Every structure is written in C-alpha cells, then in structure tokens.
C-alpha cells in the first residue's frame, strides 16, 4: 500500500526546461517511478540530446520545442502534447534564468527578462495546464522555487524577486485550485553539484568552502537528492499537501550558520 502511494505508472509529466541539470534529474526520478516524461526547450538540438539521454536509460520520453513565455505557443503545445502523449497529470515549472548584476547596474530589460521567465512563465503554463486538470478532476503542479524565495543575496535581485513571487503564486494557485483536487506545491533547491557549479566546487575555492561550512549536511546536494521530493509531490502520497514549499537544501535555511570559533 505505502509503495503504491508513490507509483506514477500511467501518469504523464511535463517538465519545462528539463533538458539538463536539476530538471533532468527530477524528470528521471518521475520516469523511474513510472511516468511518461515530456520535456521542453527552445532549442531542438538540446531537446533531441535530452530525449536520447532519457531513452538510453529506458524511460518513455518525448520532447517539444516551445517558448514558455509565449502564451499562444504554450496553448498550442499543451494541446499537441495531450493529443500525442496524453493528458498532463503532473507539471513541473522548472525553466528559469538568472542574471548576476548589482541592482544599481542592472538594466530594466534584464530585470524584466528574469521576471518573465522565472515568474510569468509558470503563471502562463500552469493556468493553461490547470484548465485540463480541472476538467479531469485533479493533477499535480510543482513550481521550482529557491532559497532566494526566502533569502536575499548580492547581485541576484531579479532572481530573488521572481522566486519570492513564485512562492506566493504557488500559494495562490493552491488556494484557487485545491477544491478541484489539484495539489500545487514548490521545491526550493539549495546548492547543488551541477555542470554549472563545477568550476567553483574545488578545494580551496572560497565559495566552495563557504557552502560546505554553511550547510549543516556539510556538502553540496547531488541532483538525485531532488528526486524524492519531486516524486512525493507528484504522487498520491501528497494528496493533502497544498501550498507548501519543500526546501531541499541540506539544512541551510534551518540555521544562521556556524560560530566563528567552530
């Protein structure tokens, strides 16, 4: 009985931007739990490479090129996915960008670009996927938030603004859609070992030492560490969990940090 609570057999999951990194890790987790995997990107080349990777490990995977910020393209792509693969039972809003610029130096266009991808696109995709979920009587939506949904940090004002807004959008979605048996929650990753962080994850690098000392678990997260959270929030096991942000951060948000004398 308890094992079946996490079984995703027969479900179709759309993971936006699921062509690499943490998005791919979560998608693989859902696929291993039995779901059909649908990923999107704006690059056909990246999409083809990702789908080949999923299929190489035995997963049932499909790829669709569309811009998550273009509502007309989103609507058309959702219709195509549901006609060709199946109704979308699980949505993970994972697509995102970051621009590291001090506030006084940041151009309005750059700030707007981050807000558009990281906050407005989850609104666009979710509202249009949710319409089908409402008609079918249920579904799971997971927004990929961040520790920046709770904390500020130098040079990431647009990203923190978007992720803080996404936390509240998640709660608003839960408020409106829970009565339709749609569970809307978020995952807030901490600092993870990905190809993007590889250059700073070396002994002696100040940021590497900072993360390891600042994290109670004393290590970077591995992408696979997100799979359990993604499966839980996608499965029957979370049917009464709504509007929650599950932080997968090794305990960073639980502590102010180690005293200087430790």
What positions carry a catalytic annotation?
Answer: 159
Residue 110: C-alpha distances to residues 66, 99, 156 (Å): 21, 7, 11
DSSP-assigned letters across all residues of 50-116: HHHHHHHTT--EEEEE--TT-HHHHHHHHHHHHHHT----EEEE---------GGG--HHHHHHHHI
**What is the three-class DSSP state of 20?**
coil
The C-alpha atoms of residue 173 and residue 124 are separated, in whole angstroms, by 12
The C-alpha atoms of residue 93 and residue 134 are separated, in whole angstroms, by 18
Residue 75: C-alpha distances to residues 52, 60, 69, 126, 223 (Å): 25, 23, 11, 11, 30
Ramachandran quadrant class, 213 (left: phi over 0; alpha: psi -120 to 50; beta: rest): alpha
């Amino acid at each position: 009985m308890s094992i079946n609570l996490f079984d995703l057999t027969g479900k179709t999951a759309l993971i936006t931007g699921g062509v690499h990194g943490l998005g791919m890790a979560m998608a693989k987790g859902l696929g291993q739990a039995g779901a059909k995997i649908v990923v999107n990107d704006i690059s056909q080349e990246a999409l083809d490479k990702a789908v080949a990777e999923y299929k190489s490990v035995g997963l049932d995977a499909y790829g669709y090129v569309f811009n998550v910020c273009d509502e007309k393209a989103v609507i058309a792509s959702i219709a195509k996915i549901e006609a060709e693969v199946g109704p979308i039972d699980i949505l993970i809003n994972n697509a995102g960008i970051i621009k590291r610029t001090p506030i006084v130096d940041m151009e309005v266009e750059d700030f707007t670009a981050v807000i558009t991808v990281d906050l407005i696109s989850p609104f666009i995709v979710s509202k249009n996927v949710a319409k089908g979920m409402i008609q079918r009587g249920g579904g799971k939506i997971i927004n990929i938030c961040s520790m920046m949904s709770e904390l500020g940090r130098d040079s990431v004002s647009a990203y923190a603004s978007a992720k803080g807004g996404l936390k509240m959008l998640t709660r608003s979605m839960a408020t409106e859609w829970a009565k339709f048996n749609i569970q809307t929650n978020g995952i807030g990753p901490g600092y993870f070992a990905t190809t993007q962080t590889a250059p700073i994850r070396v002994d002696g690098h100040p940021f590497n030492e900072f993360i390891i000392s600042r994290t109670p678990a004393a290590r970077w997260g591995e992408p696979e560490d997100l799979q359990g959270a993604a499966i839980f929030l996608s499965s029957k096991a979370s049917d009464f969990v709504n509007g929650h942000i599950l932080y997968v951060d090794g305990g960073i948000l639980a502590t102010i940090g180690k005293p200087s004398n430790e």
